[in-house]
Amino acid sequence: MNRNSSAAEPPQGVGAVRAGRTPSGANPTLSEAEIVAAALRVVRVDGVDKLSMRRLSRELGVSPMAPYYYVADKSELLDLVATAALAGIRIPEPESGPWQVRLRALIDQIDEKLRKHPGLGDVLIEQMLKKQLTLIDAAMEILFDAGFSPRNVLTAYATIHTYLFGRSRVVNDNGPGPLPQQLPKSFARAMAHVDDLRGKYFYEFGIATVIDGLEAQLVRQQSAK
């Protein structure tokens, strides 16, 4: 793995104006960066479900058919958006610190992308699993370096993945709606801090708990030998 480059590089050039044509209605100056930026604006304002080629064309101020000369369909558009959203994540060098520090640095960067692009969590999951395996491989390599067994590397990564993307869904969810006025005593005491579930505290508490738990599991694994 080349650790001197980002795990997810930004896209290079528009899906080549198809077959080198610039048909009527297409904007010859339209770039992939503009297409991706417009798509991200739509996602940010309206949500990923509202992103369509027609909605994209309105955001770009071009004819409804124009985006099709640059991007084949919504699936390809989402690939471009996810690739751009994950761009710039740096894989920590082995000498940059102990495994806990390196793992946390990598996870923090992924979480930052999820915060920056709310609503894209499911798209980013699919992108990471299908086309950005370098990020998953980097996390697993850190866990192998720490001494985890192959079985525990897989389970540890799955735990991290579940926390990262599960938390993202909670943060972006509208919640269950108003609660009853009369709440059980302990529940009411805890719910006084419900706003923390949408803030940085939730992430900090959760990821520290996950990494501390992994550290304890590693000690358990090693003492069982």
N-term to C-term CA, the chain: 31
pLDDT band, residue 11 (cuts 50/70/90): very low
Checking phi first, is residue 202 left (phi over 0); if not, alpha (psi -120 to 50) or beta?
A: alpha
What's the chain's average pLDDT?
A: 83
pTM assigned to the model:
0.77
What domains are there in the chain, each with its CATH number?
18-85 (1.10.10.60), 93-223 (1.10.357.10)
Residues 105-120: tens digit of each pLDDT: 999 999 998 888 777 7
Q: Which has the closest alpha carbon to 45: 129, 105, 117?
A: 117
Q: Are 126 and 82 in contact (CB under 8 A)?
A: yes
pLDDT tens profile 37-95: 999 888 878 878 888 999 999 999 988 888 888 888 888 888 888 888 888 999 999 99
Residue 225 has pLDDT above 80, yes or no: no
Nearest CA-CA partner of 99 in 214, 206, 223, 220 = 214
pLDDT given for residue 138 in this prediction: 96
pLDDT tens, residue by residue, 168-224: 777 666 556 677 888 899 989 998 888 888 788 989 999 999 999 999 999 999 998
pLDDT tens-place string over residues 135-174: 999 999 999 999 999 999 999 999 999 998 888 777 666 5
Q: In angstroms, rounded to a whole number, what is the distance separating the alpha carbons of residues 28 and 24?
A: 10
Given this model, what pLDDT does residue 107 score?
Answer: 95
